[in-house]
Structure 1
Amino acid sequence: MKSYRNIFLEIGKSQEEIETRLNETFDEIFYGVNKFYETTEDGSMGYLVDTGNIDTRTEGISYGMMMAVQMNKKKEFDQLWNWAMTNMYLEDGDNKGYFAWSVATDGTKNAYGPAPDGEEFFAMALIFASHRWGDGEGIYNYSQKAKELLKVCLHHEEMYGGHNMWNEDGLIKFVPGLEFTDPSYHLPHFYDLFAENCDPEDETAWKKCAAASREYLKKACHPKTGLSPEYSYYDGRPYPDHEHFGGRHDWFYSDAYRTIANIGLCYEWADKDTEFGTWCRATANNLQEFFANLPSEDKRGIYEIDGTVLEGKALHPVGLTATIAQASLAADGAHALTAVEEFWNTPLRTGERRYFDNCLYLFAMLALSGNYRIW
């Protein structure tokens, strides 16, 4: 049975303290004073609200499902999945078989296209739910729904005439109809497991995706700072389109925080003893070194990926603290335990922007306590 590193023990916290803190974090997000989890009147569905935009997103619903399966919270998992299938699933149109990335809190679709990070988290959470709890009926036949979704992602063009979510080289797209990517979408440790749990004919394709993403991440993360852009070309170069998608995304900003957290988890799940794992360790060390050496007033700012400090402050500073700490799953440098200590001493965020920060916070809490696991 695979063992998982508990770094909180390494900074002197007791197992009881760690378990209490993890449970309190989940409870605050789902049921506390500053919660952003809501349920429908009949209790059949649940959704995480993006408190900055007052909508529900496949990002948040699928994140919530991953949190729930890791925490053994089947009720909340099923409520979230019911919301996704009832209000987000696209039964027809150009994106049939995918999920609408933004839906109002009353269930009305704000968009009719997907964001692929939602689909990949849906699929991984469903696979884990099947392994942890067993399959049910209908939409709760988790393994079947995961296989269906994974098939659509790779074969949408031949099945429905639309766009696949992964390109011919095995790289995930920012959205199916556009030819660039988001480094934080690249989850080779998920694709390894997709290959084991998909329809047999797609096993080779998912292995190709895993290998392609590992090579891509080496190009997307700066060799000295470890920073990655929010969007990039497939060769890793920052994507410079400032006129669309709400402005700049070629810098290290909100989406990009997730990349190093993903690299840390990939190291823990799959790559401790591989060549890619050596790269993960060096990249995590570089990123933590970069932040440790910044003047205090610049530590939660906005940066070019080469480390140039730009004007402005991070929109999600707590989320950034969480992901710098999660990098310690791979890092072994002078700042690895210090980053975890800083995260432990940082409270959950309050206020209107708490959704994204606190999702990253709970994932880091799971990962650093050895509770973000392969099921």
Structure 2
Amino acid sequence: MMVKQAALGLAMLISVALSPLNGTAASLGAEPSQPDTAGLAANWLEAAWSAYKQRFVRDGRVIDDVNRISHSEGQGYAMLIAVKAGDRVAFDEIWQWTKRELYIDSSGLAAWKWDDRSTPKVTDKNNASDGDILIAWTLGEGAEQWGARDYRDAALDIIRTVGSANTTRGREGLTLLPGRIGFSPEDHPDGQVLNLSYWVFPALERFKAFDKQTDWAAVQRTGLKLIQESRFGPLRLPSDWIAMGSGQPAPAKAFPAKFSYNAIRIPLYLTWAKLDKPDLLRPFVGLWNSELNLGPFEVDLPVGSAQQTFGGTGFKAVIASAKCALHQEKLHPSLRKVEPETYYSTTLHILSLIAVQERYPECL
């Protein structure tokens, strides 16, 4: 009964989220009239990063405490927070570990999974394209911030390798593959499998100016088009993994047809890039009711039912960032200070606050 009530509440929230915007003030990308950043402490990021390092970083290795592994995504996220916090020592330590332990394959891409309990510790040499994208983005940011040519050269090498090894020309346009192996039409009965949360839109914005060998604007357009088309079930949300074999996106058969821990990142990346695509954010903004503290939920897409809640404040912060972008809704006071939780929730919380502070300071 509790699950049914939660599902009903979620459906009601989503119906509100899908209602048309009223007036130009709520338009995505509207310029703030009088930005006010007083909602965050002046040193909030330094404090959050210090606590993050203490809990999740060991000698340059970032530890996913729930899955008990390290991965390229986590290394990239931590490097991104470090460069935003201006911590070059930690940034370089994380990069050196990443380069030494993950960039071990002749492909020039990072092995996605590293497990301290295994021998060898790299248990899967396939790459995760979002991990490489995050690492390359942060190296470019570090090169710009600290004038480091070696960071710039490394960033460009990774960007160009992702462009050649992880993109393919599909029906929708230039498409980003989740990894270099295992996602082609020949690998799955329902066709090519993609992950829409791997389109890190703020990184792609930077890549367009950084590298001319790959048409990153086309990659970005394809991602936005696929998000628009991947609206499944009564709540019109994307699944974590989609397949393209039918000609139109559909939940991939090899994975649960759920909106879950992958797809939750999509609204964050849309918000951070400040793309003028308000319709893409509407399905997400009803996932958390801040007044009732209801949600956000994982969603069984075929029936539109709420399942378990995402565990942690960071997932609420993602939805709050989308509400800010879409409706200029100020962040709830409970989200304005980062208290370390699990690796993933804490990471998303910090990144959501950075995104809002950079793009929509009027929401703070």
State the TM-score, normalizing by the size of structure 2: 0.77
Deviations 1:185-207 (A, max 9, x none): 11333223212112x4x15x222
* Partner residue in 1 for 2:96: 82
Structure 1 CA distance for aligned equivalents of residues 336 and 152 of structure 2? 39
Q: What's the offset of the Cα at 1:115?
A: 0.9
Q: 1:143 to 1:14 in 2, by over 3 A?
A: same
The answer (yes or no) to whether the contact 2:57–2:63 under 8 Å persists in 1 is yes
The answer (yes or no) to whether the contact 1:257–1:320 under 8 Å persists in 2 is yes
Deviations 1:130-165 (A, max 9, x none): 1111124xxxx111111111222222xxxxxxxx21
Q: What's the offset of the Cα at 1:294?
A: 11
The answer (yes or no) to whether the contact 2:197–2:262 under 8 Å persists in 1 is yes
The answer (yes or no) to whether the contact 2:205–2:273 under 8 Å persists in 1 is no
Select which of 139, 144, 153 maps to 2:153: 144
Structure 1 CA distance for aligned equivalents of residues 332 and 250 of structure 2? 33
Q: 1:305 to 1:55 in 2, by over 3 A?
A: same
The answer (yes or no) to whether the contact 1:225–1:290 under 8 Å persists in 2 is no
Task: Output the amino acid matched with 2:229.
Answer: K
Q: What's the offset of the Cα at 1:299?
A: 1.9
Task: Output the amino acid matched with 1:62.
Answer: G
Paired residues for 1:128-277 under 5 Å: 128-136=141-149, 141-155=150-164, 164-168=165-169, 169-177=173-181, 178=183, 179-198=192-211, 200=212, 202-203=213-214, 205-221=215-231, 225=235, 227-234=237-244, 235-242=248-255, 248=256, 250-267=257-274, 271=275, 277=276
1:216 partner SS: helix
Structure 1 CA distance for aligned equivalents of residues 313 and 302 of structure 2? 22
* Partner residue in 2 for 1:314: 309
Q: What's the offset of the Cα at 1:264?
A: 0.7
1:110 partner SS: strand
The answer (yes or no) to whether the contact 1:316–1:356 under 8 Å persists in 2 is no
* Partner residue in 1 for 2:24: none
* Partner residue in 2 for 1:43: none
The answer (yes or no) to whether the contact 2:52–2:340 under 8 Å persists in 1 is no
* Partner residue in 1 for 2:325: 330
1:29 aligns with 2:26: no
Structure 1 CA distance for aligned equivalents of residues 166 and 112 of structure 2? 14
The answer (yes or no) to whether the contact 1:4–1:370 under 8 Å persists in 2 is no
* Partner residue in 2 for 1:19: 42
Deviations 1:258-313 (A, max 9, x none): 0111111122xxx3xxxxx1x3x2343442235339986x62432134782244x1
The answer (yes or no) to whether the contact 2:130–2:200 under 8 Å persists in 1 is no
* Partner residue in 1 for 2:110: 99
| Consecutive aligned runs of 4 or more in structure 1 exceeding 4 Å deviation | 3-7, 221-226, 293-296
Q: 1:282 to 1:210 in 2, by over 3 A?
A: closer
Select which of 282, 289, 292 maps to 2:289: 292
Moved more, 167-176 or 301-310: 301-310
Structure 2 CA distance for aligned equivalents of residues 289 and 76 of structure 1? 37
The answer (yes or no) to whether the contact 2:325–2:360 under 8 Å persists in 1 is no
Percent identity between matched residues is 15
CA-based RMSD: 3.2
Q: 1:58 to 1:6 in 2, by over 3 A?
A: farther
Q: 1:305 to 1:294 in 2, by over 3 A?
A: farther
Q: What's the offset of the Cα at 1:21?
A: 2.8
Task: Output the amino acid matched with 1:266.
Answer: A
Structure 2 CA distance for aligned equivalents of residues 5 and 307 of structure 1? 38
The answer (yes or no) to whether the contact 2:234–2:301 under 8 Å persists in 1 is no
- Is the strand fraction higher in 1 or 2? 2
1:71 aligns with 2:85: yes
Task: Output the amino acid matched with 2:297.
Answer: G
Q: What's the offset of the Cα at 1:227?
A: 3.0
Q: What's the offset of the Cα at 1:38?
A: 1.1
User: Which ranges of structure 1 fall in alignment gaps of 5 or more residues?
Assistant: 40-45, 156-163, 243-247, 272-276
Structure 1 CA distance for aligned equivalents of residues 218 and 284 of structure 2? 28
Structure 2 CA distance for aligned equivalents of residues 262 and 223 of structure 1? 23
Structure 1 CA distance for aligned equivalents of residues 338 and 157 of structure 2? 39
* Partner residue in 1 for 2:279: 282
Q: What's the offset of the Cα at 1:176?
A: 2.0
User: Which ranges of structure 2 fall in alignment gaps of 5 or more residues?
Assistant: 1-28, 184-191
Structure 2 CA distance for aligned equivalents of residues 294 and 341 of structure 1? 9
1:18 partner SS: coil
The answer (yes or no) to whether the contact 2:232–2:302 under 8 Å persists in 1 is yes
1:54 partner SS: coil
Structure 1 CA distance for aligned equivalents of residues 260 and 325 of structure 2? 21
Structure 1 CA distance for aligned equivalents of residues 298 and 140 of structure 2? 36
Q: What's the offset of the Cα at 1:6?
A: 9.1
Structure 2 CA distance for aligned equivalents of residues 289 and 345 of structure 1? 20
Task: Output the amino acid matched with 2:266.
Answer: T
Task: Output the amino acid matched with 2:352.
Answer: A
Residue correspondences, number: 316
Structure 2 CA distance for aligned equivalents of residues 77 and 345 of structure 1? 24
